[in-house]
Structure 1
Amino acid sequence: MIEKGRISVLELALIMYATVIATAILYIPYVTVQHAKRDLWLSPIWGSLSGFLIVFIIVILSRFFPGKTLIEYCELILGRTIGKIIAFIYLFFLLHDTAIGFREYGEFVESAFLHNTPMLFVTGSIAISCAIAVHGGIQTIGRCAVLFLPIVLASYVLIYIFLIPDLNVKNMLPIMSNGVMPSIKGSLAPHAWLSQFSLMSFLLPLLTNQQKVMKWGMFSVIASVLTMVFINLGNLFLFGKIIINLQFPVFEAARFVSIGSFFEHIESIIIAVWVLGGFIQLSAFFYMLVLGTSQWLKLPSYKPFVLPIGFLIILFSAWTIPSFEDMIRGMGTTVPYYFLTVQLIIPILLLCVAVIRRKRPNSFLQ
């Protein structure tokens, strides 16, 4: 085993929660509302189907092949040549996905706060911090998730608690006035983000206790969906119809907070707190990419790859996305199909072939 460190099921759930939510609460509301309008709060509920399905598939595959990641059991299921090709496709996607995550981080920080700072400096600075965490191993990332995520979650809940006098519940009415289809169309992006639970494959072999992993995986999906629903409702209650024009509604909501004459303009605090969640997300992506690459090459250690792959991630983040407008447009058009094809179709294919070849899990649902 390349990685000697271990994490608990709680740390697994928190890491996966951060992997989905860190950027989802920033970008998904704007993408979803373009289709769903006032029903945008329903879209994550439909999107949860992908999250539940992929957790179920990944956990069952882990019981077919205990102690193996998706990169490793691709060869066991599909044979050496085809397995290597499919694993490479998944790793290349993970490189692209990680680069997109770093670019999302950079675009938000630059547009909201550091307006004149070069993008490469913004993404490069967080990449160095993530590289230190990745080099420290999965235990470092797990401990950071336990330490930072409660602070991140509490900060976003407090935003809307402080804004209760300004919230108007009537903004969500009438519900489904145009039927259910707008909210279903708006669920495409939540489907794509929640399909990232396929990355659990890299973490399951590292658990100290394999018991109740299905339960904690499903719990992480539920927590992610409830957070998206809460954020979407809060934004809808506060902004009403104008939410369709706000690219970062959570950040705009933070600007509305004003208690007395001494507690206001807290958007800088929110950015600082969000960076903690973004750090967990990007470190997790970074770690899984480095670990998977080392397993694909069958190397004894992943640590020599940390800096080279970090450099490659930064290059991809600059090359693959021409502009912020193109990135936002892609989130509502091609990116969800791209995510779902790789993160949902490949695990389904692997499970189907494994079942056909009469593999059996050590144990079923617990």
Structure 2
Amino acid sequence: MESAEKVSGTQLCLLMFSFIAPTVILVIPGLMSSLAKQDSWLTILPTLLIGALNIGIMLTLSKRYPGMTIIQYSAHIIGKWPAKLLSCYLIYVWFNFDFIILNQHIQFINTVFLMKTPSVVISLTLAIFCCIAVYMGIEAIARCNEYLALLNIVLLIPLLFLMLAESDPERLRPVMGNGIVPVFQASVFPIAYITQFFTLGWLLPYLNQPKNAAKASFLSLGIISGLLCITLLPLIMVFGPLTDKLTFPVLSVIQYIGIKGSFERLEALAVAIWVMSCFIKIAVTIFVISLSISQTFNTKNYRDIVIPVTILSVLGSVTVFKNYSTELSSYLNFTYPSYAMFTHFVLPLMLLAVDTFRRGFRKAAH
């Protein structure tokens, strides 16, 4: 069924950039550095490969079932009731993802800016704006993101150049001093996030020109990978082996620049980048959850579900962890990478394999 809401190829590219890049840049460098040390930047290569495969799978499924989300076409591939179970699992995964992102937002703001502000206030203020955006529709979110994504880039690039002024290239040596195994182990973290291109399963039906899907998706992948690379290199050259001991390494290096350079309190720019990106990420997540529930249980309009989903998001974000810093760190280190790889990559790959087999069987039967 054709939707009245439409996004352009450029909007889709920027939407995926805003959805994936800021979390990857601000959160995971420390996780990668804990395993690969000075070779963290080499993890970009396997990340780029898996990201490209992930996009290829989602594009192929979308091309075979034009105008349908993954919730809808899974019923054509595996049958009605197995698809209902899959949809319920995906809804659970998206809710969990929503809670974690809002929780990360709380921690970031509490760490940098509003140390004594109650968690529920930080979560609620952002969630209300996200709720309004989702109610306006995915087209409104995409249009808003056009400006926010460009503003993020304008704020981020000068910070990267300032980081270079404090860099020491010697900290990149020795290259692969511990072999290639730590590089592959550390690549699990960026791969877990880059496979969030799985979100295309809900966004591609809204693309106004489906022929631009591949160009927009791969361009977004290239920008994210390039930005991660040029963020990791200065980070390692500034902090060296200390990188893995920092919760938000990029934030720490920005604070360091602010003390040593001509400008003070540059972390305010990091907060601006984070908040704008979290707004888009959470808005898209709430949209996906609402759309998934609507299509799974055949309600008239996903907008009827937006407010309850938003309320649950706020409640979940402040109760998902008892000890924020310890439990969130453990979750990001050990839990999220494994189930993200399964959900974002293995599940759509299995759907594609089953669909390919069934098509081949039907063709052979005729």
TM-score by length of 2: 0.94
Equivalent-residue separation in structure 2 for 1:62 and 1:241 (angstroms) = 43
1:199-278 mapped onto 2 (5 Å cutoff): 199-258=199-258, 263-278=263-278
After superposition, the C-alpha distances for 1:314-359 in whole angstroms (9 at most, x for unaligned) are: 2222333332211112212121001111111110111111111117
> 1:354 is matched with which residue?
355
- The superposition leaves residues 66-105 of structure 1 with CA deviations (integer Å, 9 ceiling, x where unpaired) of 1000001111111111111111111211111111111111
Q: Retained in 2: the 8 A contact 1:22–1:281?
A: no
Aligned CA-pair RMSD: 1.8
Preserved contact between residue 163 and residue 235 of structure 2 (Cα < 8 Å): no
| Structure 1 CA distance for aligned equivalents of residues 31 and 118 of structure 2 | 26
Corresponding residue of 1:196: 196
The secondary structure found in structure 2 opposite 1:66 is: coil
Is 347-356 or 152-161 further displaced after alignment?
152-161
Q: Give the distance between the partners of 2:320 and 2:347, measured in 1 at CA.
A: 23
In 2, Cα distance between equivalents of 1:39 and 1:12: 32
Count of matched residue pairs: 360
Counterparts of residues 54-69 of structure 1 (less than 5 Å) = 54-69=54-69
Can you give the 5+ residue segments of structure 2 that lack an aligned partner in the other structure?
A: 362-366
* Matches for 1:1-366 after TM superposition, within 5 Å: 1=1, 3-258=3-258, 263-322=263-322, 323-358=324-359
**In the TM superposition, what is the alpha-carbon distance from 1:35 to its structure 2 partner?**
0.5
Deviations 1:28-82 (A, max 9, x none): 0111111011111112322222211111011100111110000011111111111
The offset of 1:212, in angstroms, is: 2.8
Q: Cα distance, 1:264 vs. partner?
A: 2.0
User: Which letter does structure 2 place at the counterpart of 1:174?
Assistant: P
Distance 1:122 1:254 in 2: 23
Asked if the contact 1:51/1:191 (under 8 Å) is kept, the reply is yes
User: Which is worse superposed, 87-96 or 260-269?
Assistant: 260-269
Deviations 1:188-227 (A, max 9, x none): 1111101111111111110110113112211111211111
Query: Once the two structures are superposed, what CA deviation does each residue of 1:120-155 show, in whole Å capped at 9, x if it has no partner?
Result: 111111000100110110111111211011111222
Q: Which runs of 4+ in 1 moved over 6 A?
A: none
| Aligned 8 A contact 2:43 2:187 in 1 | yes
**Which residue of structure 2 lines up, in the alignment, with residue 363 of structure 1?**
none
Q: Secondary structure at the match of 1:23?
A: helix
User: 1-side partners of 2:297 and 2:216: how far apart?
Assistant: 31
Q: Provide the rounded CA distance (Å) in 1 between the counterparts of 2:315 and 2:80.
A: 30
Q: How many Å separate the matches in 1 of 2:224 and 2:24?
A: 9
- CA distance in 2 between partners of 1:164 and 1:73 (Å): 47
Shift of 1:258: 4.7
SS in structure 2 opposite 1:179? Answer: coil
2: CA distance between counterparts of 1:94 and 1:3?
Answer: 22
**Aligned residue identity for 2:309:** I
- Cα distance in 2 for residues equivalent to 1:176 and 1:260: 31
Whole-angstrom CA distance in 1 between matches of 2:118 and 2:45: 37
Equivalent position SS for 2:211 = coil
Q: Is residue 257–residue 265 contact of structure 1 (8 Å, CA) maintained in 2?
A: no
Q: Which moved more, 1:210-219 or 1:193-202?
A: 210-219
Deviation at 1:165, TM superposition (A): 2.6
Work out whether residues 130 and 282 of structure 2, in 8 Å CA contact, stay in contact via their aligned partners in 1.
yes
Give yes or no for contact 1:160–1:234 (8 Å, CA) kept in 2. Answer: yes
Distance in 2 of aligned mates of 1:164 and 1:349: 44
Q: Which amino acid aligns with 1:92?
A: Y
Secondary structure of 1:134's partner? helix
Structure ranking higher in helix proportion = 2
Instruction: State the Cα distance separating 1:274 from its structure 2 match.
Output: 2.3
Letter of the structure 2 residue corresponding to residue 315 of structure 1: L
**1:125 corresponds to which letter in structure 2?**
T
Equivalent residues of 1:48, 1:190 under 8 A apart: no
How far apart, in 1, do the equivalents of 2:330 and 2:48 lie? 22
Secondary structure at 1:285 match in 2: helix
Asked whether the 8 Å contact 1:64–1:359 carries over to 2, the reply is no
Q: Distance in 2 between matches of 1:173 and 1:206?
A: 46
| Amino acid paired to 1:133 | A
Counterpart secondary structure, 1:247: coil
- The 3 A distance-change label for structure 1 pair 90 and 260 is closer
